[in-house]
Chains A and B, each alone.
Chain A
């Protein structure tokens, strides 16, 4: 089988080589020979080329033989994937027998693990390593945006399409009801923020998926760990390397064709729903009806109006790095700016400037070894942005989708249609309708966030085997802002009779301090032991904030408005307010940890880790959590009895691990009953002397303690066919226990709930990834394909009712009888709950048939008509109530996949990659049927309605939203559920490196490229974007609820990348 494959591959290669060879001009002399490996097996398809003139070359045939005509005195190189390259000069010899050495470099690579590095070959856990190059190629503003297609088992969803929006990362399935993002460790400092980091500064990202790998981070590693290493100067890089990267582009929203309806369509739809609301529309908007008749206007599609056409995005990055024996350095400067695709006429944007400096100094050297080394990594980022609320009822995007089209956004002369114009035209079709665009334009704001994250470290190697290290890391956030709102009158009751200015400033600091000692020694040649002990402390430092608001500014302009540009004292300003807060230093987390690695002949590996963490979030006696883990690996391919497979199986390692990690991410002081002093009452006769009212504001839980995640994982890493093919497989069971849950509590308790250790969930799954790297002549290519399957299943919930309630009223305010999603044993966390249907009554006969069979009808038999939903009375008791509500959808994908293809030919490079998710559902309703009958419609919804026999079997006829078709006895229902499988082409890049063709140019690289991001989404989902990164702003553990969501942008860009 294998031989056959090789033959086919070989023949292909020969063809391509011949084709390539045709171009080579006949030269002085002909050489020939064979290429074999260490085992004397022929190496097929090896590239034999002339150094400095890649156009002259040949590939070896099935017997490893080649012939080539070359200029005299040329240098020849022989390359083949999986082998170390060789070069030799042609003398008089004309026949060459070349033996290529196997290249195991890929396996000798070291990767970052917690508090150290390790050879990839010796890893016993499931980790993914992504190089900085791979990330930079994607040209994303945030490094996480570049990882979609290459990280099996890691689900990355951008929280929204707002520029600068963060990402939700879930590793191996959602396990907690709290914050499910993994711990981000940047250059050893835990709790960092990837948003602040320029992707071009990243040397590598390592994702630790299994518990054993993450265990050294014990506390807070329950959701996995992402280790980020930034670029460092390298020893021996005497001449500074300067890089310059820039791109510009534009973006369009990924709306999937969704838009609002016109005014006449809308009026028609309202009428078809049986509402008489606009029977006298001629009286309530006489002028606009005239406009419609004259064809001057046909309603406002607020959503489309809000689109910022061709929103610009650009990025500029400059980096310098180098290093000698004493100092290594790496500096960079980045400026990036992106406008959002929504929010016109004042679109959202994100502006970030990042400056980074990494240096290290060798203070004492002995035998070419750094005995004492001091270094620092610092990133300073300055951000400025304008956002928009997205997800959830009442958010900006939801408002744009549901706002009545009857109100003009613009007057005929192109100016904003203001309240005065409503009065002028006698526009009275709705109460208090605000022109959203006018509202969006009102407020001016300016602000900067300055964030500093970094560390300094001292490393001492008194003897070769021992490395002592201490590092002090700091994160500091500073924010300043100034906002100005002019006086306005948007409607009769939405107005402000004065202008106002608000200024605020805040500073917060966190620091970490860690000490580690690492000892590594090889005994008797074969036994290598590495032991690490360490301690770390993480603390909150001093912090403070102040803010103030004043009104009636002196000049009444945005430019001059500030807290001092107001007449009179603070107390004379009726709308003034002042506030402030501070934090007092305290220790958040205290940890002790130890790790032992043992390997025998690099063949058998074993690791044990234990970590103890104390968290201030729990009461004495519940503070400490101890998290152990063990893991082992066996490189089977190194066994002597595996020699026979050597020619096709280069590497095969089995690994297994078990471990525990903790989570303590909750609000502090829930173990005790805190007293709120925010109440007031006034017992003074002149009513100007309110006194403080104090009350307990929560029901304390003194027993609160750690949430634990426990994972058992087994997998293998393998490389085949001279490492051309890589296959990685993983299987895992991850149980998260003692969930930190804050269940909604009964009103009769009289105060808000505290968290409890309340549940457990199991995620189990498999991950499989394939990579293939090879070349056909000059054409180098690689293909990656990975997929993962995960099953999410709640094991138990400790609350009185045995399940965890989500929110009711997800679809509409009046759909209130039962929560729309839930965490319940035996079901995936956050599954959708509601009434199920089995189609739509297409005709009266069908209704009669159902009636004859004795079916129950939600509105009674007499009321049923064609176009109504056939609800399922699950228990057949003739009533539709809570007992008939079942699982109607699962927001978690069963299967996620990623793929990437990259090609390189001479100076040209091309790559395409994408990712997909399958098996999940989205609950979507942009309008609130049962509450707001007059909200607008979107075209995708219009297309869904039943309009007559045979038109659809999944969505009902037009009717008032209070009909049970839409509110189902006030229960949620499956008519709002859709399959949301999707496949997205995330990135297509075409580049050309001039250096590859014009060797003389004084650059190491001069590459130009064009990139398209998010260009194609293949989905059956009819809403805007099937990748819904939100549960509509309610519980952390809910997802896949689309009530109006800022879609991700399509990006078209071109750029240049230069290296000196």
Chain B
């Protein structure tokens, strides 16, 4: 008996230990490569670098909270929360509240996916033999990856202030890093990017180069981060990088001869609304739009003014959701003659603050003669405008547009044109009205005002490089170039107020204002924004009203708590077992949740 058992056991064990037998179970993964065999070639390395870029698309899907650009627009004094009563995300965002305790969870994970992919690419490519690469490509790939990691880290720092700093693929549960550690990491990555990415890659329309991170993008981003850090935290240096160094880098970037980046001739031609399909110029017909009147021609994506932006493919699945949220709406969510050339199929989640419009309109140094005024502000509904804004004598571009009374809250009748989704006729004879002009550009794109937007999300414009230099050097060189472009007289001398105004109007509703205020006035930004937007005319579900703060949770009160930073997703706090601390303003008892019925308006 025992013998038999023993024999069986011995047989089995002998068989098992037999290498040959074991190898019968070896399985090759034909559908995926694995880390033991990847990357092996330069092409593999390039694909790893691509993934560092690819993650950015996921920052444009799902909740509007994912899009930092949009969050900053809404939270600033440029734009109200607006939207429909059910779009709690935007209303909450506008008031530095959260619509749920996990609204940030997917974006948190996306950012860390981005970091992990950068870390993996850096480790794997560094370990590869230099001889596998053509020319200076290894440094080029590594430099781009450093840039991407810095970009993610900066977006996270701007959003959450501090967070666990993962700079390698071996990650364990860890607490938040300090502010200085984070900015040191960003500075190091950007320095690497500046040093490693060959200077020959500037702005380019060449295939495989369009939209890549360049040395100059790194220099510009360094300027952006350095100015935020030194301003917000009141420092003179950032990780040993001083002002002189930053100016030198920015000047390098601003040097059109080396960087090839430059201003476009008209700022308005950066935006989709100047496209030739909506204006009919493509068909040799004049559809009578603003673009026709001003003879504007969209320069398209990959503008030489876009030093850094997120790009979408006409054939890939990603798209820019900004237009979906910013786009205004009518009751059928379909464009018609009253909304043309705009699409009217958006969520209507942004109304431009009328107090801001008035300030611009009445500013003697700017006013409606500033080409950027009508280039930015879309004015609708002649009757309402006349009644609500007696001071406004300007153009009403969509006089008959009536919106959607039963849905819109905090509607001001001023919308932003930048990023606005555009309708277009399919031909000069106006045979059919497309909801999205991209569908005409390329039939593979959805004819949908929401998922069919393939325009760049622009993070750093060349104009910003010029204005950063002016601000650092207290000069008017950049300002006056921009003013000239906008049809305004040059300034004779620099002042901080002039610089501030120039930035405000040049970058109006582009998501710059919020962080500008935070770095200029780290403590007072909340009060400024509150003052600049409270009391503006709004319509709440069609009824006249004025913009009001929430009792006990006004913008300045929320800012005092949060300093403009956002909530750490609760799920991550749970998963990290107490290692991760919630940000101030979003802790238990801090009344951070925005729920139905919190808006103080009576209808």
Q: Which residues of A contact B (CB under 8 A)?
A: 275-277, 279-280, 283-284, 423, 428, 431, 492-493, 497, 531, 533, 537, 572, 574, 581, 584, 586-587, 590, 592, 594, 596, 598, 606, 608, 610, 612, 614-616, 620, 623-624, 626, 668-669, 672-677, 679-696, 700, 744-751, 800-801, 805, 808-809, 813-814, 816-819, 879, 881, 931, 933, 960, 962, 969-970
Q: CB within 8 Å of A: which of B98-151?
A: 100-102, 105, 108-109, 112-117, 119-120
Query: Which of A284, A592, A688, A750 lies in contact with B313, CB distance below 8 A?
Result: A688
Q: Which residues of B contact A612 (CB under 8 A)?
A: 12-13, 15-16
| A to B CB contacts below 8 Å, 11 in the list | A610-B8, A616-B26, A673-B36, A680-B54, A682-B314, A684-B208, A695-B113, A747-B575, A750-B116, A808-B571, A960-B597
Is the CB–CB distance between A805 and B575 below 8 Å? yes
| Max chain A C-beta neighbours (<10 A), residue from B50, B174, B211 | B50
Q: Select from chain A the residue with minimum beta-carbon distance to B39.
A: A694
- Dominant SS among interface residues on chain B: loop
B interface residue numbers (CB < 8 A to A): 1, 4-5, 8-9, 11-13, 15-16, 21-22, 24-36, 38-39, 44, 46-48, 50-51, 53-55, 57, 84, 86, 100-102, 105, 108-109, 112-117, 119-120, 163-164, 166, 169, 171, 173-174, 205-212, 301-302, 311-318, 331-334, 345, 406-407, 439, 442-447, 450, 454, 569-572, 574-577, 588, 593, 595-597, 603
Residue of B nearest to A589 (CB): B25
Cβ of B117 and Cβ of A750 under 8 Å apart?
yes
A748 proximity list for chain B (CB < 8 A):
112, 163-164, 166, 171, 173-174, 572, 576
A969 adjacent to B588 (CB under 8 Å): yes
Indicate whether A669 sits within 8 Å of B113 (C-beta atoms), given known contacts A616-B26, A816-B570.
no
Question: What residues on B are CB-neighbors of A680 within 8 Å?
Answer: 50, 54, 57, 313, 316-318
Chain A contacts of B46 at CB under 8 A?
A: 691
Tell me if A676 and B209 are in contact (CB < 8 A).
no
Whether the Cβ atoms of B47 and A814 lie closer than 8 Å is no
Residues from chain A with a CB closer than 8 A to the CB of B22 are: 614, 620, 623-624
Give Cα distance in the complex from A814 to B89, angstroms. Answer: 13
- Chain A residues within an 8 Å CB radius of B570: 808, 816-817, 970
Instruction: Give which listed residue, B16, B102, B301, contacts A687 with CB less than 8 A.
Output: B301
Task: Please name all residues of chain B whose beta carbon is closer than 8 Å to the beta carbon of A679 when the two chains form the complex.
Answer: 50-51, 54-55
Whether the pair B50, A431 counts as a contact (CB closer than 8 A) is no
Residues of A within 8 A of B113 (CB): 695, 750-751
- A594 and B12 contact, CB distance less than 8 A: yes
A683/B211 in contact, CB under 8 A: yes
Starting from the known contacts A586-B27, A680-B57, 20 additional A-B residue pairs (CB-CB under 8 Å) come to: A283-B406, A423-B332, A493-B333, A531-B4, A574-B443, A626-B13, A673-B35, A675-B35, A685-B206, A685-B302, A687-B442, A688-B315, A694-B47, A695-B117, A748-B163, A749-B112, A750-B169, A813-B100, A818-B574, A969-B588
Instruction: Quote the shortest CB–CB distance from A523 to chain B (angstroms).
Output: 12
Residues on A with beta carbons closer than 8 Å to the beta carbon of B597:
275-276, 960, 962
CA gap between A882 and B33 in the complex, in Å: 42
Given A594-B12, A598-B1, do A816 and B571 touch, yes or no (CB 8 Å)? yes
Q: Are A672 and B212 in contact (CB under 8 A)?
A: no
Closest 4 CB pairs between A and B? Answer: A750-B116, A682-B313, A673-B35, A679-B54
Known contacts: A677-B47, A680-B54, A695-B117. The answer to whether A745 contacts B575 by CB under 8 A is yes
A750 touching B119 by the CB < 8 A rule? yes
Q: Separation in Å of the B132 CB from the closest CB of chain A?
A: 16
B57 / chain A contacts, CB cutoff of 8 Å: 680-681
Name A745's closest neighbour in chain B (CB-CB): B575
Point out the residues of chain B lying under 8 angstroms from A879, CB to CB: 588
Residues of A within 8 A of B50 (CB): 679-681, 691-694
B575 neighbours in A (Cβ, 8 Å): 744-747, 805
Least distance between A219 CB and chain B CB atoms (Å): 12
Distance A1026 CA – B462 CA, assembled complex (angstroms): 65
A685 adjacent to B442 (CB under 8 Å): no
- Residue of chain A at shortest CB distance from B318: A680
Q: Determine how close the nearest CB of chain A comes to the CB of B84; give it in whole angstroms.
A: 6
Q: A669-B32, A673-B34, A679-B50 are in contact. Are A747 and B574 (CB under 8 A)?
A: no
Residues of A with C-beta under 8 A to B117: 695-696, 750
Q: Looking at the assembled complex, report how far the CB atom of A606 sits from the nearest CB atom of chain B, in whole angstroms.
A: 8
Q: Is the CB of B210 within 8 A of A685?
A: yes
Q: With the chains together, A642 CA to B294 CA distance in Å?
A: 111
| CA gap between A693 and B44 in the complex, in Å | 9
Minimum Cβ distance to chain A for residue B458 (Å): 15
Q: Are B51 and A693 in contact (CB under 8 A)?
A: yes
On whether the beta carbons of A688 and B603 are closer than 8 Å, the reply is no
Complex Cα distance, B32 from A534, in Å, reads: 35
Which of B44, B114, B117 has the most chain A CB atoms inside 10 A of its CB? B117
Q: Contact: B445 with A574, CB < 8 Å?
A: yes
- The distance in angstroms between the C-alpha atoms of A746 and B119, with both chains bound, is 17
Given contacts A744-B575, A816-B100, contact A695 B316 (CB under 8 A): no
Q: A690-B313, A693-B50, A748-B166 are in contact. Are A684 and B12 (CB under 8 A)?
A: no
Which A residues lie within 8 Å of B116 (CB)?
Answer: 695-696, 749-751
- Whether B207 pairs with A689 at a CB distance below 8 angstroms is yes
A584 and B100 contacting across the interface, CB-CB below 8 Å: no
Residue of A nearest to B115 (CB): A750
Q: Which residues of A contact B574 (CB under 8 A)?
A: 805, 808, 817-819
Closest to A963 in B: B595
Q: Roughly how many angstroms separate A816 CA and B302 CA in the complex, as a whole number?
A: 41
Q: Are A681 and B15 in contact (CB under 8 A)?
A: no
CB closest residue in chain A, given B7: A594
On whether the beta carbons of B4 and A681 are closer than 8 Å, the reply is no
A879 to B588, CA, bound (A): 10
Q: Which residues of B contact A669 (CB under 8 A)?
A: 27, 29, 32, 34
Q: Residue of B at shortest CB range from A880? A: B588
Q: Nearest Cβ in chain A — how far from B4, in angstroms?
A: 6
Query: In whole angstroms, how far apart are the Cα atoms of A574 and B318 in the complex?
Result: 15
A276 to B602, CA, bound (A): 10
A610 and B331 contact, CB distance less than 8 A = no
**CB nearest neighbor in A for B345:** A493
Contact B51 A695 (CB under 8 A): yes
In the complex, what residues of B have CB within 8 A of residue A700's CB? Answer: 35
> CB within 8 A of B32: which of A284, A614, A675, A684?
A675
C-alpha spacing A676/B333, complex, angstroms: 38
* Most-contacted residue by chain B among A276, A606, A683, A689 (CB, 10 A): A683
Min CB gap B489→A, angstroms: 37
Give chain B residues whose Cβ lies under 8 Å from the Cβ of A277: 596
| Residues of the A chain whose Cβ atoms lie less than 8 Å from the Cβ of B210 | 683-685
The complex places the Cα of A370 from the Cα of B55 at a distance, in Å, of 67
| A814-B5 in contact (CB<8A) | no
Q: Complex: how many Å from CA A962 to CA B595?
A: 7
Q: Which residue of A lies closest to B58 (CB)?
A: A679
Chain B residues whose C-beta falls within 8 Å of the C-beta of A813 in the assembled complex: 100
Assuming A750-B166, A801-B577, A881-B588, is B311 touching A681 (CB within 8 A)?
yes
Contact assessment for A615 and B25 in the assembled complex, using a CB-CB cutoff below 8 Å: yes
Q: Are B24 and A693 in contact (CB under 8 A)?
A: no
